[in-house]
Amino acid sequence: MAALDWAATPLGAVPGWDPQLRSVVRTMVSSRQQMVLFWGEERIALYNDAYAPTIGDKHPRALGRPARENWGELWEVLEPLLDRVLRTGRSFWAKDHPFPIERHGFLEQTYFDVSYDPVFVDGAGPADVVVGGVLCLVTETTGRVLGERRMRTLGKLGGALAGLDDLDRVARVAAATLGDNPDDVPHAVVYLTAGGGPLRPAGAAGVRAEPRPVDLAGTDAEAEVLRTVVTDGEAAWLPSRAGDPRALALPLTSTAGVLGVLVTGVNPMLDLSGGYREFLDLVAAAVSGALANAAAHGAERRRAEALAELDRAKTELFTNISHELRTPLTLIAGPAEDALADVDEPLPAAQRERVELVRRNAARLGRMVDNILDFTRIESGALRPERSGTDLAGFTAAIADVFRPAVERAGLRLVVDAPALPAEVSVDRDMWQRIVLNLLSNALKFTLQGTVAVRVADDGDRARLSVEDTGLGIPAADLPKLFDRFHRVREPAARSREGTGIGLALVAELVGLHGGEISVRSEPGVGSTFTVLLPYGDAPTAPGPGAREAVAEAYLDEALGWSEDPAAPLPRTDPRSTRGAQVLVVEDNADLRGFLGRLLGRHWDARVAASGDEALAEVRRSAPDLVLSDVLMPGLDGFELLAELRGNPATKHIPVILLSARAGEEAAIEGLAAGADDYLVKPFSAQELVARVRSNLELARLRTRQAAWRAALVESLDDGFFTMDARGTILEMNSACGQILGFDEGGLPYRRPYPWWPATEAEPREAARLEQELDRALSGAGGRFLVPARRASGRRVWLAVSINEVAQPEQPEGVATEPLFVGTVRDVTADRVAAERDAAQATFAAALADATDVREVLTAGVRGLGAAWSTRPAVVVGWQVDPEDPDQLERPVVLADPDGRAWEALPGPARSAMSAARATRAPQVVPAPGGGRSAGVAHRLDSAGADTAVWLELDPPQRVSDVDRYLFVSLCAQLGLALTRARSFEEQRLVAMTLQRSILGPTELPEGFAVRYEPALEPLEVGGDWYDVVRLGEHRVGVVVGDCVGRGLRAASVMGQLRSACRALMQQENAPAKVLTALDDFAEQLPGAVCTTVFCAIVDHEAGQLVYSSAGHLPGVVVGADGDHALLDAASSVPLGVLLPAPRPQAVLDLAEGCTVMLYTDGLVERRGELVDVGMARAVRALVAAPRTGPLDAVLDRVITELVPTGGHDDDVAALLYRHRVRRGGQP
């Protein structure tokens, strides 16, 4: 506003303005509020800098021009508002008022909080006032208004789309919701993809014509753009149409790809570069999410239908297979039963055992086939119960008694509580038998100790059957699915892991056919209770078929096998067998376990186990040469048993062959990948099994021989050697490694974190570093690194570790091998300690070098000593003579202590050790209780002018070796030298400060003057800054401020000589330029005076003038009584002793009444990393803000206080202040 030529505007030059106008303009200029003033009939616009961004490109041409010229696009809105205020003299206020403004090249939709207030001026009459203009205070709220509007739309959109499961409905609802916000979305169309076909419009709002499908293979511009959006998944602009706003096409995406396109109109009055585009992206994301959820619902529905269809097909397949199995099962079971019943030609004992095995398993297979067929008949409605009146209590007790041998063989107690019921129950006896036997079979399978109880009781109009057990119980997560077909409870501790998962499902179906209900109550670890409720019903007149004994026998035979004693292995008879080889057979099925034991017992010494847990105990008791294990077993299954064997160094070499009913290449790969040596699929031939066992035993013998040779080689190494897996578990180590670590082979395997690693709680950063280093090495990169370790004895050592991956032999395709790593370890503690001591000495010396006084040296020294031994800072004590009583003995005074204690409060061992060190001049080591370690060490400090000792407490106690003792003495010597240097420096500084203060300017000053000198706080050195005030007759006073190069005593000496020369020259030559010219010659002859800066001036009270000249010095500042200010920079030239291109300049300043002049040195305004102009401007502001009245000393103190940084200044400061006053009669 100040730069505008107002004389060329309708308002004319500023002096001719109305006083009220000038007053308002001054308020506007100093305010940060956005303000615009419309003045006079033409509404001439005046606005401050804060308002300029509001009108954008119209600034600055709108300044001083009629409002209609630059606010034409909104004049219809603005003119009535201004006229009303001008006409009525009443203010107008509005919140979020809309204004269409063209400020950035387009007509923009904006909103403002406005307050239009009248500005009154004097009218024609003495008492008349009229409205001269309108002062507008505005605050733009466009961002908030648009943001709230868009957030409402996004909230409505999210609520409307929630839970929708149809793609078309999502599109319609989304378009309708967006149509409620035409300001941001003038129109919207939601297109859906159609499996590679055209884009189909599924929802639209705000469009003039119904949208049509878009063929993505088309060649028109719109099709090409939409094809790109669908293909690339990126937004793009559609070609503009006449009469329509621009449209943006946004992809609607999901994890499966692009589901559609959202075409949305764009309001041309909104800036798309800001939050507008983000809003549209959020809209597209919300619609995309809703479409993805709807698509997922549809896919889930189709998946459920497909699964139902698959279930029906599976049932039909099982039915067909089951029918086909009946014929071969009959031809297996029939001849077997006939052979067993033949009394004319009875079977020998060994053959009878084999045929009995065939018969039992044929019956078991027949029962499975019957269950599958029953399911299919239930689904088709073909299976109906053939009921007859039955004494349910007696019949149930009889069924339970048939099952009693299996319960008692398992070591359980069977309780049958079945009192007579009041009436017979109409049931299908065969179905009821299967219900009871199934429930008893499950109770026995999952009960390892305790009781199985069968109870029958009356329950009103129904009979109740309860089968209770004290078994393992059923997890709560399995209870809702317990009666689902093919659901199996995964309980590894059960007697058997065999089963099809259809038993309880069939029981539920059979109970349902009788119109009954079944439920279960269970608590893990306590037991389970199955309850069946059957209505009594009316018994039919004709009795139904009886229960089949074969069904009960099949259940009993299977249950007896769960607790059968392991069969004794047959003696080894094959002369070709491996001598002394022992084979452990692990199988939960009693029949198969006995068969395998007898088969392999003919060739080797065979042992058998019924579970993985039993097998693991047998291996630990006596390790076999080979393990043959089933996969699916109670307790530890085959894979878990394999993991236990491979994880133990003592058993990891034992070959393991897995047996499984899972056929196919993937199953074999899974077994081999888990670490098995071989994998055999059931059914298998006896010859194949024997051949596999023999080949694996031969390979194991070769591996054992190679392992022995390798172990001897590893043991011969001097360095520690170890192997580890991809997880970092150390699998083996040689004896040298155990000796270095202090943890031997007996603790293998060692898993992360290793017992010798730093504890995470005590050293979290070091532990994290080692984890990262090890992870990097195990990633395949290998590595060499230093490891801090703590041996079992507690001693801390440093280890050099090297880890590399071992190249693995090529494996068959699909077979993965776990990486193996080898490493070496070497104790480098001595080297590390030496390096740490060298580093400690260097660090200690560097810290002392930075200290500049005794306090800093002591602080750095005690901390450095503590850091060198990883303990608390040291304590320094000096023996001093009391100056008030010099005849007394020297007394100890604590010079440095982190806890601030006095001598008497220090521990007794510390006081004794320091006193002894002072007397003997030798280091004193104080042993810790328990022996072997030291609680602290003391030594005398050889420091000039002081009798001093230091105490270092070792917390916790440490071993102090000869190397430690030498290091401590060396560091104490460095500390003593540093103290000597610091005391010498302080003495020199005291001398320099005394000299400088003695040669500074006079303390008695002429009226109107104030001076200050402050030495630097850091680094506590005096400098070469000075001031002087010289009386030159009655009305004139010479003033000078200078700054010599450098610090310390030398700079103070140079400053004193220059000040004296300048004072003498001013008394001889009154012109400042001549004084400086003469000083140039003097500076050339005075060492250290070249490049000194000087500001020299003469104040003439009577003439009211200041004559000045500057030799490279910072310009002075003059501030008038009204706050106007200027820099005294009209007579500046180069510093003293520098070659002058011309005579030194001189300038004259007329002094106004009440003006203040400040001269200063650079220490007042210079800051590190800041331009000196910034500091000078800060000094001007401080002087302008200072009081115009009051004591001048207080004014100067306030200015210096405001300019000095919080941490103090690092250069000395000289400052001089003069205030010009004229008394009546011309006398100052």
Confidence at 134, pLDDT banded by 50, 70, 90: very high
The 10s digit of each residue's pLDDT in 547-559 is: 555 566 666 666 5
- Structural contact between residues 557 and 359, judged by C-beta atoms closer than 8 angstroms: no
Asked if residue 774 has pLDDT above 70, the reply is: yes
Confidence at 402, pLDDT banded by 50, 70, 90: confident
Confidence at 778, pLDDT banded by 50, 70, 90: confident
Instruction: Identify any residues that bridge with 606 across adjacent strands, giving them in sequence order.
Output: 583
d(CA 892, CA 879): 4
According to the model, what pLDDT value does residue 882 have? 62
According to the model, what pLDDT value does residue 326 have? 63
Chain region(s) in the chain for CATH 3.30.565.10 = 384-562
582-586 and 605-609 beta bridge pairing:
parallel
Confidence at 747, pLDDT banded by 50, 70, 90: confident
Element (H, E) at 112: strand 107-122
The 10s digit of each residue's pLDDT in 911-930 is: 888 888 888 888 888 888 87
According to the model, what pLDDT value does residue 573 have? 40
Concatenated DSSP letters of 518-568: EEEEEETTTEEEEEEEEE--PPPSS--PPPPHHHHHHHHHHHHHHTPPPPP
d(CA 431, CA 513): 10
Backbone angles phi, psi at 326, to 5 degrees: -60, -40
**Residue 1069: which of 1094, 1035, 1096 has the closest Cα?**
1096
Confidence at 568, pLDDT banded by 50, 70, 90: very low
Tell me whether residue 236 is exposed, middle or buried, using C-beta atoms within 10 angstroms of its C-beta: 0 to 12, 13 to 18, 19 or more.
middle
Chain region(s) in the chain for CATH 3.30.450.40 = 164-307, 833-989
Task: Select from 3.30.450.20, 3.40.30.10, 3.40.50.12280, 3.30.1490.20 the CATH code of 718-810.
Answer: 3.30.450.20
CATH T-level assignment (fold) for domain 164-307: Beta-Lactamase (3.30.450)
- Structural contact between residues 472 and 491, judged by C-beta atoms closer than 8 angstroms: yes
d(CA 184, CA 178): 9
Average pLDDT over residues 677-692: 83
Average pLDDT over residues 1105-1131: 93
Q: Tell how far CA 908 is from the center of its chain.
A: 50
Q: What is the mean pLDDT of the chain?
A: 83
Question: Does the 384-562 domain belong in CATH 3.30.565.10?
Answer: yes
Cα angle, residue 121 at apex, residues 117 and 124 outer, rounded to 5°: 140
Average pLDDT over residues 880-894: 68
The amino acid at 225: V
CB atoms within 10 A of CB 850: 10
Q: Which of 513-517, 789-793, 1212-1216 has the lowest mean pLDDT?
A: 789-793
What are the Cα distances from residue 419, in Å, to 121, 453, 454, 456, 1143?
A: 116, 14, 11, 7, 136
> Tokens in use for 707?
């392992």
Angle between helices 549-562 and 392-409 (to 10 degrees): 30
According to the model, what pLDDT value does residue 327 have? 63
According to the model, what pLDDT value does residue 126 have? 60
Give the CATH H-level superfamily of domain 1000-1226: PPM-type phosphatase domain (3.60.40.10)
Chain region(s) in the chain for CATH 3.30.450.20 = 6-140, 718-810
d(CA 474, CA 531): 15
Sheet with 626-630: list strands edge to edge: 605-609, 582-586, 626-630, 656-660, 678-681
Concatenated DSSP letters of 557-612: HHHHHHTPPPPPPPPP--TTSPTT-EEEEE-SSHHHHHHHHHHHHTTSEEEEESSH
What b/e string do you get for 622-648 counting C-beta neighbours within 10 Å, with b at 16 or more? ebbbbbbbbbbbbbbbbbbbbebbbeb
The 10s digit of each residue's pLDDT in 958-1010 is: 878 777 788 888 888 888 888 888 777 777 666 656 665 555 667 688 989 99
Chain region(s) in the chain for CATH 3.60.40.10 = 1000-1226
- Structural contact between residues 600 and 687, judged by C-beta atoms closer than 8 angstroms: no
Cα angle, residue 1096 at apex, residues 1090 and 1097 outer, rounded to 5°: 175
According to the model, what pLDDT value does residue 1073 have? 92
d(CA 443, CA 465): 14
582-586 and 517-523 beta bridge pairing:
unpaired
The 10s digit of each residue's pLDDT in 1011-1041 is: 988 877 554 456 678 899 999 988 899 999 9
CA atoms lying within 13 Å on the CB side of residue 763: 15
- Structural contact between residues 366 and 333, judged by C-beta atoms closer than 8 angstroms: yes
pTM of full prediction above 0.85: no
Domain 6-140, CATH: 3.30.450.20
CB atoms within 10 A of CB 1192: 20
Confidence at 315, pLDDT banded by 50, 70, 90: low
According to the model, what pLDDT value does residue 127 have? 58
Chain region(s) in the chain for CATH 3.40.50.2300 = 582-713
Confidence at 947, pLDDT banded by 50, 70, 90: confident
Task: Select from 3.30.450.40, 3.40.50.300, 3.30.70.2200, 3.30.1330.200 the CATH code of 833-989.
Answer: 3.30.450.40
The amino acid at 487: H
Looking at the domain covering 582-713, what would its CATH class be? Answer: alpha beta
CA atoms lying within 13 Å on the CB side of residue 799: 27
Residue of 224 and 1205 predicted with greater confidence: 224
d(CA 788, CA 801): 10
- Structural contact between residues 970 and 950, judged by C-beta atoms closer than 8 angstroms: no
Q: What is the DSSP letter of 1019?
A: S
